Every structure is written in structure tokens, then in C-alpha cells.
């Protein structure tokens, strides 16, 4: 954070004096980042006014420093008063009549449990609002500060102030434990080294490697920018690192200790996957509270494979921080065994499955998309008809086909092709090998796909699937994924047993499963180089295959076939596109 400087387990206020070359450095007398931020927020308005005054009324640097020291002392006193008010608020008497002060461990644990419970209440809960009001009354926040907030901002503010109370109480608890440990480890007899070694300055010179040059968040921004240049889908890994930074809760990476990492790993192991029944928790409850609830209520947690993969993403970030001279050592490697991904092993243990013929027949014959909503979908939401068929016969990644433009469906050497590319600003591909030209499967042409393309051109559309919306992070594919992965839709064509296995993460069936179907349908029928070219793969050694002719690719992709009884759908498509 700007103007905060951490050295020798203490936070300092550091700022350059206006119109001078002098810097002032003053101890904030705390090792807590949250307390340091609070004190900084309390003194900033006064310092701002002081610096405005100095423009026309110069003062000696030493006098300015003494004045700011006074501001800090006043802020510490005011913070102490707020702390005392907080402790008073949490005083209580147990069933045996024993009194506990609000600063005691038992009182703090009781308060933390209450906050965890109350944060799960609805937004309009009376007790939740009353608790937030009680925090405001003993804070330095004025009611007038809230008058300009919108209704939604007020609701968000209520949850934020309660979450802040939770974090401060956790700090109180950690500080109390630290004081107890210091007392228990106190040695009355001074060591020889403490007598012989002269005391060092509290604030030493900045080391050659300035680990405080950039915050952890700034380091993450640069890491993501660098990785995204090489892999446009890297943003999927970014959330893993954001979780790491939230759970460790340090402004600078160099501040993360071994104990912090132990606590992080303990919490991280208990976090549930961010999906289905747990999404609501992630929207309004801090990660530490989610982990605490998970320990008590036995939430479903990440699979070992997912857990290891996420730690690998965090590990890569910490290695980058070392190379950027923002971290001295990657302590995560000393805590867990991080192994490099083994593609062969991953493939054996991959829980993602291809669809069975029975499941595909139910999708195309019985789901609402292809029955009662068929005509409406062809007219207004053609993606719901064509994308599953295209994925089945081409094995594309969802975003590759969801984002394709009409001018990227063309002919080369009299062969209709898909041009998979990222030439437009709203398009992105996984890697360089993803860029390719693929002949359109004859089966799609038989169903009337080229007629559909021509219809879209006549409507003056730019994209093939104009019904899909774009998101900055996930492109056009997310819009279709949301429809396809809805539980009510999958219940129409997947059995209850299959859905239960998916819930338990025993198997995974999604849009990427079509890619497995496509690959399996061509195994043993075509050369690996042809299959990889169609799917946008690199060779096993990491290089792109040499150019393969379109005739060879067409011959290969035409061998993709399935023993499916979907004649009703085939007839409906042909009647629709070839009726004239």
C-alpha cells in the first residue's frame, strides 16, 4: 500500500516531503497490516491539509516530522479507544456466571462464531442490520458518510463492515497468542550474543533486492499479463493465485512466513469447489469463514488432482516473484510435494468421459432443444441446434466455434472449410497450434449447414452464432456453456445415476466431452498428425506439424462417424433447409 513500509516486523509511514528531497519515516508501532492501513486512513486527511499549508508556509523537515508523529500518536490513541469499545461490546457471562472480557480468547471465539452465523443471513435480516449498526456506533464512521450510497451499495457495505470486524477479531486473537508465546519463551538470563552484539538500527537500509518494490497484487498483474501473451486462456489459473493472496492476506510477498503458509494450506484443503451449491458462499463470505464452515460441516472439497493443479499454479507465481526479486525463496515447495504434470498419467486418471451413443441419442431425440423448442431455436437461437453437432463431428473447443465469423467459413480448392483464427479483437485461441483450417464434415453439409450459413449472411450478421453474447474473460463460449450445463437441461437426457456420479465428481461430462468423442471416432483410422491438425494439437515434441493438404484432412475427417439413430432430427433439418 502506498506510504506503508515494512521492516523489522514493524510498519512505518514513509513519504517524501513536498518541495524537498527529504523523506520522513515514522513507526506506526504495529506489525499488523490491517491496523497499519487503519492508522494510515486516520492520518491521511490531516497530512493532506498539512501539505497544502506547506505550499505557502515552508517548515523545517524536523518540525514536519514531529507534527506527523503527533498525528500518528493521536490516531493510535483513537484506535485504542475503538479497540476498547470493541472489547466492551463482546463482554459476556457464561452459564456458570463466569465473566469474560471482550479481549479474552473465549469471548473472541464466541464473537467469531456469531459473525460466521450472521453472515449467512438474508440481506434484509433484522439482526444482521442491528449488528452492523452496533459496529458503526462504536466506529469513527459518521452516518453522513453513508447518505450518498445507493441501496445496493448500502447492502454491500453492511456485509463489508461485518467482514472487517471478523478480520480485526482474528487479528486480536493472533496477537494475544503471540504475546502468550513470547511470555512463555521469555528467558531471564540474557545470552552472551545479546550482550556483545550492539543493537542495530530499527530501520535499516533497504537491501540490495528491494522486496517491497511492488505489492503482491501488482506482481500478480504483471505475471498474468506475461502468461496471457503465451496462453490466452491463462486467466483460468488467475483465480487460484487470488485465493492464495486472500488467504495469506499480506501486502507484500516477502511478508509471508512459514506459519502463514501452514495456515493457508490448512484452509485451502477445506475450500469447496466454486460451483453448484457453494457459489452463493463465495459471493458474500470471506474465504477463511468458508474454510471454517467446511471443517465443521464437511463440505465437498477439491479432488486431489484439482488441489495439486491449483498449487502448481501458485507455485509458478511464486517462482516468478523470485525471478522478479520480490521474494527470497519459494517456501511452498518446502511444504508440499509439487510434481510436474505427467500427460500419460493424467490421461489415465482423467474423469472426463465421452458421451455414450445412448446419451447422444437422448440429447438429439428427446431434449427440449431438439423437440418442443426446435423450430424456435432454429429461428432465434441456432447455436442450441448446431453447436453440439459441430462439436461432435469436429472436436472443436467451445470458444473456437462459438466465436467464429461468417467470413471465416469459406472455400479453399472447392472444399468448404472452417478457418479457426483469432484475427479479430474479440477472438482468442488456446495457443498458436489452435490456428488452423479444417474442412467441414460432409455430414453437416448433408444436414443443411451451408444453407444455414447462407441464411445468416443474408441477415447481414457478422458472426455465425449471433445469439451468443461475449464476456471479456471467456469469450462467446460461456454463453452457450451456461445453457448446456444447466441441471434441468441435462436431466432431460442424462440418467439420474450419471448425474449423481457427476455431482460426486466421479465422472465429468460437458462440452469438452464431444472432443473426446471426436478423437475416439478417428483413433486407428487416420494418422496422428491428421487428427492433431484437425483438433489444433501440437506434436508430442512441442512443434507444429508440417502443412497437411486440405484433401488429406477432408479424407480423414470424413471417417468420423457414429452409430446413432437420430433419423428424426436429420429429417427435420433437411426439411427445414431444403424444403424449397
Looking at the structure, do residues 150 and 73 belong to the same domain, yes or no? no
Give domain status of residue 191, yes or no.
Answer: no
- 552 closest CA partner among 518, 571, 526: 526
Question: Tell me, what DSSP letter sits at residue 328?
Answer: S
Query: Residue 232: what pLDDT?
Result: 59
Looking at the structure, do residues 85 and 170 belong to the same domain, yes or no? no
Looking at the structure, do residues 503 and 523 belong to the same domain, yes or no? yes
Beta strand pairing status for 99-100 and 92-93? antiparallel
Give domain status of residue 466, yes or no.
Answer: yes
Residue 401 and residue 421 in contact, taking contact as beta carbons nearer than 8 Å:
no
Looking at the structure, do residues 417 and 549 belong to the same domain, yes or no? yes
Could you read off the pLDDT tens digit of each residue along the chain, which spans 580 residues? 567 777 767 788 888 777 666 777 888 877 777 677 777 777 777 777 787 777 777 777 777 777 777 777 767 666 666 666 666 777 777 777 777 776 777 877 887 888 887 777 777 778 888 887 887 777 666 666 566 667 777 777 777 778 777 777 776 677 666 655 544 554 444 443 333 434 444 333 434 457 888 889 999 988 888 887 666 566 668 889 999 999 998 888 988 888 888 889 989 988 988 776 788 888 778 888 888 888 888 888 887 778 888 898 899 999 999 988 888 888 888 777 665 555 444 443 467 889 999 999 999 999 999 999 999 999 999 999 999 999 999 999 999 999 999 999 999 999 999 999 999 989 998 888 889 999 999 999 999 999 999 999 999 999 999 999 998 888 999 999 999 999 999 999 999 999 988 887 788 899 999 999 999 999 889 988 899 899 988 655 444 445 789 999 999 999 999 999 999 999 999 999 987 5
Looking at the structure, do residues 130 and 76 belong to the same domain, yes or no? no
User: Which of 68, 89, 110 marks a domain boundary?
Assistant: 89
Looking at the structure, do residues 442 and 567 belong to the same domain, yes or no? yes
Beta strand pairing status for 415-420 and 10-16? unpaired
Count the domains in the chain: 4
Looking at the structure, do residues 293 and 385 belong to the same domain, yes or no? no
Where in the sequence is the domain holding 277, given as residue range(s)? Answer: 216-349
Query: Residue 108: what pLDDT?
Result: 79
- Write phi, then psi, for 56 (nearest 5 degrees): -105, -5
Looking at the structure, do residues 308 and 284 belong to the same domain, yes or no? yes
Query: Residue 495: what pLDDT?
Result: 94
Give domain status of residue 209, yes or no.
Answer: no
User: Which of 349, 367, 384 marks a domain boundary?
Assistant: 349
Give domain status of residue 331, yes or no.
Answer: yes
Looking at the structure, do residues 126 and 226 belong to the same domain, yes or no? no
Give domain status of residue 192, yes or no.
Answer: no
Measured between alpha carbons, how far is residue 252 from residues 7, 206, 314, 328 in Å? 11, 15, 15, 12
User: Which of 66, 89, 112 marks a domain boundary?
Assistant: 89
Looking at the structure, do residues 372 and 336 belong to the same domain, yes or no? no
Looking at the structure, do residues 507 and 430 belong to the same domain, yes or no? yes
Give domain status of residue 176, yes or no.
Answer: yes
Reading the block at residue 52, the C-alpha cell is: 497544502
Give domain status of residue 206, yes or no.
Answer: no
Query: Residue 201: what pLDDT?
Result: 42
Give domain status of residue 452, yes or no.
Answer: yes
Q: Is the dihedral of CA 370, 372, 375, 377 positive or negative?
A: negative
Looking at the structure, do residues 330 and 477 belong to the same domain, yes or no? no
Amino acid at each position: 500500500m502506498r506510504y506503508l513500509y515494512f521492516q523489522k516486523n514493524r510498519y512505518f509511514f514513509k513519504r517524501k516531503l513536498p518541495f524537498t528531497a527529504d523523506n520522513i519515516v515514522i513507526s506506526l508501532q504495529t506489525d499488523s497490516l490491517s491496523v497499519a492501513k487503519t492508522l494510515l486512513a486516520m492520518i491521511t486527511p490531516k497530512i493532506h491539509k498539512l501539505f497544502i499549508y506547506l505550499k505557502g508556509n515552508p517548515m523545517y523537515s524536523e518540525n514536519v516530522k514531529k507534527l506527523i508523529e503527533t498525528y500518528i500518536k493521536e490516531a493510535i490513541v483513537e484506535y485504542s479507544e475503538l479497540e476498547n469499545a470493541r472489547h466492551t461490546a463482546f463482554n459476556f457471562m457464561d452459564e456458570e456466571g463466569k465473566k469474560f472480557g471482550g479481549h479474552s480468547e473465549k469471548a473472541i471465539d464466541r464473537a467469531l462464531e456469531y459473525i460466521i452465523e450472521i453472515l449467512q443471513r438474508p440481506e434484509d435480516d433484522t439482526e444482521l442490520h442491528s449488528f452492523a449498526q452496533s459496529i458503526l456506533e462504536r466506529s469513527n464512521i459518521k452516518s453522513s458518510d453513508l447518505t450518498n450510497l445507493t441501496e445496493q451499495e448500502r447492502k454491500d457495505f453492511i456485509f463489508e463492515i461485518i467482514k472487517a470486524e471478523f478480520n480485526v477479531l482474528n487479528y486480536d486473537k493472533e496477537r494475544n497468542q503471540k504475546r502468550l508465546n513470547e511470555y512463555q519463551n521469555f528467558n531471564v538470563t540474557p545470552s552472551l550474543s545479546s550482550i556483545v552484539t550492539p543493537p542495530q538500527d530499527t530501520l535499516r537500509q533497504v537491501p540490495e533486492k528491494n522486496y517491497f518494490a511492488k505489492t503482491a497484487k501488482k506482481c500478480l498483474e504483471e505475471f498474468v499479463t506475461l502468461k496471457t501473451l503465451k496462453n490466452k486462456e491463462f486467466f483460468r489459473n488467475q483465480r487460484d493465485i487470488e485465493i492464495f493472496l486472500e488467504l495469506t492476506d499480506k501486502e507484500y510477498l516477502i511478508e509471508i512466513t512459514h506459519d502463514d503458509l501452514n495456515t493457508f494450506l490448512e484452509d485451502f484443503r477445506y475450500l469447496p469447489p466454486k460451483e453448484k451449491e457453494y457459489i452463493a458462499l463465495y459471493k458474500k463470505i470471506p474465504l477463511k469463514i468458508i474454510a471454517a464452515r467446511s471443517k465443521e460441516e464437511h463440505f465437498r472439497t477439491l479432488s486431489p488432482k484439482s488441489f495439486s493443479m491449483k498449487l502448481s499454479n501458485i507455485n509458478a507465481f511464486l517462482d516468478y516473484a523470485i525471478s522478479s526479486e520480490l521474494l527470497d525463496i519459494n517456501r511452498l515447495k518446502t511444504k508440499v510435494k509439487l510434481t510436474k504434470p505427467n500427460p500419460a498419467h493424467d490421461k489415465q486418471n482423467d474423469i472426463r468421459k465421452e458421451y455414450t451413443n445412448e446419451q447422444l441419442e437422448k440429447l438429439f431425440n428427446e431434449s427440449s432443444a431438439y423437440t418442443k423448442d426446435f423450430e424456435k431455436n432454429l429461428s432465434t437461437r441456432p447455436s442450441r441446434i448446431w453447436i453440439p453437432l459441430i462439436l461432435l463431428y469436429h472436436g472443436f473447443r467451445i470458444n473456437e466455434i462459438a466465436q467464429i465469423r461468417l467470413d471465416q467459413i469459406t472455400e479453399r480448392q472447392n472444399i468448404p472449410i472452417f478457418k479457426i483464427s483469432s484475427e479479430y479483437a474479440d477472438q482468442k485461441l488456446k495457443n498458436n497450434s489452435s490456428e488452423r483450417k479444417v474442412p467441414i464434415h460432409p455430414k453437416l453439409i448433408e444436414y443443411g449447414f451451408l444453407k444455414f450459413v447462407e441464411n445468416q449472411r443474408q441477415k447481414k450478421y457478422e458472426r455465425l452464432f449471433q445469439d451468443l453474447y461475449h464476456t471479456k474473460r471467456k469469450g462467446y463460449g460461456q454463453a452457450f456453456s451456461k445453457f448446456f450445463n444447466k441441471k434441468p437441461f441435462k436431466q432431460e437426457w442424462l440418467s439420474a445415476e450419471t448425474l449423481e456420479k457427476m455431482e460426486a465428481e466421479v465422472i465429468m461430462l460437458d462440452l469438452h466431452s464431444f472432443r473426446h468423442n471426436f478423437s475416439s471416432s478417428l483413433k486407428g483410422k487416420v494418422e496422428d498428425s491428421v487428427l492433431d491438425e484437425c483438433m489444433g494439437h501440437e506434436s508430442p515434441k512441442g512443434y507444429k506439424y508440417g502443412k497437411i493438404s486440405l484433401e488429406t484432412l477432408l479424407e480423414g475427417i470424413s471417417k468420423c462417424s457414429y452409430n446413432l439413430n437420430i433419423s428424426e432430427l436429420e429429417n427435420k433439418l433437411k426439411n427445414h433447409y431444403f424444403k424449397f
